[in-house]
Structure 1
Amino acid sequence: MSKYLVVAIIITVSLIVGYAAYSNSKQTTSSKVGESGEFSTELESYPVAKKTEIVELKNGDSYNLTASIVKKNINGADVKMLSYNGSIPGPLIKVPQGGEITVNFTNNTDVDTTIHSHGVRLDNQFDGVPDVTQKPIKVGESFTYKLKFPDAGVYWYHPHIREDYATNSASTRIFNISIPNARMRLVGADNGKYEREEWVDSVRLSPSERVVVEVWFDKSGDYQITHKTPQNSYTMGAIDVAPGPVTTSYLLVPRVNQDIITALGPLRPQFTKEVDKTLNLTLSMMGNMMQQEPNTIEITSSGFSPKTLTISQGDARGYPINFSEYQQLTNSQIRNSATWNSYTNKNHVFLK
């Protein structure tokens, strides 16, 4: 029987790089450009976004990158967008592995911004996190980034500020993603490949988290991408698998990545060493008129019996967490049992 295959689907719940505000040519706004970081939706005479270019740099090169406002016509509507060097997406920058470049960045938008080089191992001062590793780059100001590229890969540069403007973004909820009637194999995540791939029924993602899965479809047709909670199941999208034979190849055999196993070798003694410190998780409940009964907090961890704490209004309880008990990638949940809380109020903590 013919088999069908989709490989390396990147499931992502992430904040969008730029903000697009739909308007027509007659639309105006009361906010002034750049005033208090307001994002004006006025189109004015902004240039049309141009085609993305590919830039190849050598070790030691410098490159000028400018964030500016452009417009596009999408389905008959003019859209205001933020661009890099006039294009969306911005330039594809190629740098040799082991290379270091200088990026001279200028902010010509009407909001504060920074550049975060997602996934790149670089000096902390150039990580682009506003008010943590640097001050926000104000309108009309510039900043120089020194970027190192010790690892091969494809990375994403994007603003790390004003993310509340992003459209179609997630809140603080966890997404429990699955593809019914298809087999998913977990390959890796933001930090790269896993030591060993494994078949999974679903993956749980927090906002801005990404994982890579390979999916095996045994027949053609439409497959739903779903988000399941204890109460409901939501369709997030669909995959249309076309008919036609493909080679099964390596897909059905999970890979063992010996290079990752070797790289983690020096760290393995840390996995079983005596605990360095015990963290105390304090759970408290504010008094209010809506919640009169004591609240029960349930803490569960993979392979261990659940522990519960009962907390009354205005009370607090301490729960010691001994990390020596937990294996790598242990999935711990802290769940509020109050009836007015839902699945989206669960906090999932992955201990690494």
Structure 2
Amino acid sequence: MFFARNMRVPALACLLLNGCLFSKDADPPPPDPEPVWFSNDVTGLEFAKAPSTKVLKNGDTIVLNAAPVKKSFHGHEVRMLAYNGSIPGPMIQVPQGATITLILRNHTGFKTSLHSHGVRLDYLYDGASGFSQKPIANDSSFSYRIHFPDAGLFWYHPHTREDYEQEMGLYGNFSVTSPDSAYWNPVNREQTLILDDFYLDPATATAPFRTDGPSHTMMGRFGNIFMVNGDTNYTLEVKRKEVVRFYFTNASNVRTFHLGFTPDPTTTSRYIPLKIIGADNGKYEYDTLLPNEFLAPSERTVLETYFDTPGDYFLLHDTRFPVGCLPTQDSVYVMGRVRVLSDSVSTGYGRTFPERSAHLETIRSIDSVRSRLDTSVPPDKILFLTVKLGQKGDGADMPLMKASAAQHDPGDVVGKCIEWYDNMPGPNAQSTVDNVRWIVRDSTTGAENHDINWRFKQGSKVKIRIVNDGLRSVHPMPHPIHFHGQRFLVGSVNGIPNRNMAWKDSYLVGVGQAVDILLDASNPGGWMAHCHIAEHLEDGMMFPFYVDP
């Protein structure tokens, strides 16, 4: 965002609360009815458990019970939701090529569904509530038949009131193992970590959510409590000279994480190297060594790091970098710590850790379509991402304020605008589907959100340009765009080719960016694509597309 703090908040507050959309002679809008809130009662609830790992084989069945639990934060017991009593839900490990049955039993007290995020399964079991399946009523169940064609890290979560149900703890991972024992590099241990932030109202020590629809539709709901695998105090002990592979998933509603391990949180200069080896749907073409990794909502990353010196290493979410579009807080959030013992591991992989491998299977899977990714090839489809404010979100696309826009050089912020925190908590909390409308627009037809109706032939490789119109928007912000049931490649950003690709299902489209992706429309059926900021999804920032056999 490009607004000075002292200018932008009053302007947006005025717009969101409809206080400047009516003349003084006009009749004011009728008052909103008093909202009804989801229950915060913890009476009789069991405490949430730590997650377990369930190893399944082809043909197995697993039952997930979705039901309320409670967790303790800062001495306060808070009502939450869990699969099989744990937050996150069980980590389900299956072999590549397996098909399992997952029976979801709903005891939440309201409707739900389950989406297998990133899995190219039969569309009838995709879990897009109201589209590919009817929502599951309370005290009812649904059997999902889930086939796993790809190795990698995937996850599951609701697709019904995702802003509430996922935020309250309904999420978990699928780990799909390759039959090739050398698919990943040899390491001393592996850790699967789901990152989340959770908002606890400091005045009431509750998590307030309306039953009639989402709030925080402008910026999304930022949390004030950070969790790793449901734990606010994640700790891992390893031996000296261990190489550890971490599988990260971002399950937050809106927050993008900037991750790294360091022995000294007071400086940005002592991060230890991360070897980035995999993304949403498998390995990159080439390993890379970086000090930090960005992880947007719904994205996954697979990385390795080498702990060669005893002591404590802190897992940080670090915003002390010139990539924020809000006034800087220079904030550092300790997500957890790794304690490196003085005893050395008997078999170490430190010598090969700096090596950056080329992954031929990924390279070969891309070679056949690489020419379509050339920046000289025009896109088949173009999408614009924007926002409207006003009663029912039916106002015109809102332009930037000239005075505040003049204070910023767009060239300095294009593609770097990441909202690290909520700098307008009052107006954001009062934004709803009635006064904010986030939009995905087909540039050819002008159709928006659910009125878009794309059809592709199975096997098509569709080049789609996604343009974040934030530079001309009243509220520029990045959007993590997710396509159900398919995979895609990110070919270029603002005309700059991507030289190291991996198959993905989600990608953060930054403010002012034009991102070209190549959609592998290989999986027939009816599907959804949407922004994975949960409040934007529930606000309607989604559209259907169809892959015909």
Read off the aligned partner of 1:102 and give its amino acid letter. Answer: T
Larger displacement relative to structure 2 (256-265 or 37-46) = 37-46
The answer as to 2:320 corresponding to 1:228 is yes
Distance 2:162 2:354 in 1: 39
Read off the aligned partner of 1:256 and give its amino acid letter. Answer: A
The answer as to 2:373 corresponding to 1:271 is yes
The answer as to 2:102 corresponding to 1:99 is no
Q: How does 1:234-245 map to 2 (within 5 A)?
A: 234-237=331-334, 238-245=337-344
Task: Please report how far the alpha carbon of residue 40 of structure 1 lies from its aligned counterpart in structure 2 after TM superposition.
Answer: 1.4
Task: Please report how far the alpha carbon of residue 261 of structure 1 lies from its aligned counterpart in structure 2 after TM superposition.
Answer: 1.5
Distance 2:297 2:67 in 1: 27
Q: Is the 8 A contact 2:494 2:515 kept in 1?
A: no
Distance 1:118 1:216 in 2: 30
Q: Which of 364, 388, 399 is 1:286 aligned to?
A: 399
Distance 2:79 2:406 in 1: 50
Task: Please report how far the alpha carbon of residue 122 of structure 1 lies from its aligned counterpart in structure 2 after TM superposition.
Answer: 0.9
Distance 1:159 1:64, change over 3 A: same
Task: Please report how far the alpha carbon of residue 196 of structure 1 lies from its aligned counterpart in structure 2 after TM superposition.
Answer: 0.2
Q: Is the 8 A contact 1:275 1:323 kept in 2?
A: no
Q: Is the 8 A contact 1:38 1:110 kept in 2?
A: no
**Aligned residue in 1 for 2:136:** 137
Task: Please report how far the alpha carbon of residue 270 of structure 1 lies from its aligned counterpart in structure 2 after TM superposition.
Answer: 2.0
Distance 1:291 1:186 in 2: 38
Q: Which of 317, 321, 327 is 2:497 aligned to?
A: 327
1:209-262 per-position Cα deviation (integer Å, ceiling 9, x unaligned): 232222345544444522223345321225544445453232011122122112
**Aligned residue in 1 for 2:117:** 118
Q: Which of 277, 285, 290 is 1:187 aligned to?
A: 277
1:7-53 per-position Cα deviation (integer Å, ceiling 9, x unaligned): xxxxxxxxxxxxxxxxxxxxxxxxxxxxx995312234345667866
The answer as to 2:351 corresponding to 1:249 is yes
**Gapped regions of structure 1 (runs ≥ 5):** 1-35, 303-308, 314-321, 332-344
Distance 1:54 1:233, change over 3 A: closer
Distance 2:62 2:279 in 1: 29
RMSD over aligned CA atoms reads: 4.4
Distance 2:472 2:152 in 1: 48
Task: Please report how far the alpha carbon of residue 152 of structure 1 lies from its aligned counterpart in structure 2 after TM superposition.
Answer: 3.7
Distance 1:241 1:350, change over 3 A: farther
Q: Which of 204, 215, 224 is 2:294 aligned to?
A: 204
Q: How does 1:1-352 map to 2 (within 5 A)?
A: 38-46=37-45, 57-71=56-70, 78-153=77-152, 155-165=154-164, 166=167, 167=198, 169=223, 172=254, 174-179=256-261, 180-181=269-270, 182-217=272-307, 219-224=309-314, 225=316, 226-230=318-322, 231-237=328-334, 238-245=337-344, 247=348, 248-272=350-374, 274-277=377-380, 279=382, 285-286=398-399, 297-298=410-411, 325-328=495-498, 346=511, 351-352=516-517
Distance 2:342 2:121 in 1: 45
Q: Is the 8 A contact 2:153 2:281 kept in 1?
A: no
Task: Please report how far the alpha carbon of residue 94 of structure 1 lies from its aligned counterpart in structure 2 after TM superposition.
Answer: 4.7
Distance 2:373 2:67 in 1: 47
Distance 1:329 1:37, change over 3 A: farther
SS at match of 1:160: coil
Distance 1:323 1:161, change over 3 A: same
Distance 1:157 1:234, change over 3 A: same
Q: Is the 8 A contact 1:329 1:351 kept in 2?
A: no
1:46-74 per-position Cα deviation (integer Å, ceiling 9, x unaligned): 45667866656554454443322345678
Distance 1:267 1:162 in 2: 37
Distance 1:261 1:59, change over 3 A: same
Read off the aligned partner of 1:274 and give its amino acid letter. Answer: V
SS at match of 1:164: helix
**Gapped regions of structure 2 (runs ≥ 5):** 1-34, 168-197, 200-222, 224-251, 262-268, 323-327, 387-396, 417-469, 475-491, 502-509, 518-549
Distance 1:95 1:164 in 2: 28
Distance 1:108 1:115 in 2: 14
1:148-202 per-position Cα deviation (integer Å, ceiling 9, x unaligned): 1223445432223434342154564644444542222221122221110112243
Distance 1:48 1:187 in 2: 36
SS at match of 2:369: helix
Count of residue correspondences: 290
Distance 2:383 2:67 in 1: 47
Task: Please report how far the alpha carbon of residue 110 of structure 1 lies from its aligned counterpart in structure 2 after TM superposition.
Answer: 1.8
Distance 2:96 2:368 in 1: 23
Distance 1:312 1:293, change over 3 A: farther
Q: Is the 8 A contact 1:114 1:160 kept in 2?
A: yes
Distance 1:62 1:78 in 2: 33
Distance 1:281 1:186 in 2: 30
SS at match of 1:134: coil
Taking structure 2 as the reference length, the TM-score comes to: 0.43
Q: Is the 8 A contact 1:293 1:312 kept in 2?
A: no
Read off the aligned partner of 1:186 and give its amino acid letter. Answer: I
Taking structure 1 as the reference length, the TM-score comes to: 0.63
Distance 2:149 2:499 in 1: 25
Larger displacement relative to structure 2 (98-107 or 108-117) = 98-107
SS at match of 2:127: coil
Read off the aligned partner of 1:275 and give its amino acid letter. Answer: P
Q: Sequence identity, in percent?
A: 33
Distance 1:262 1:291, change over 3 A: closer
Larger displacement relative to structure 2 (123-132 or 83-92) = 83-92
Q: Is the 8 A contact 1:176 1:202 kept in 2?
A: yes
Task: Please report how far the alpha carbon of residue 115 of structure 1 lies from its aligned counterpart in structure 2 after TM superposition.
Answer: 0.9
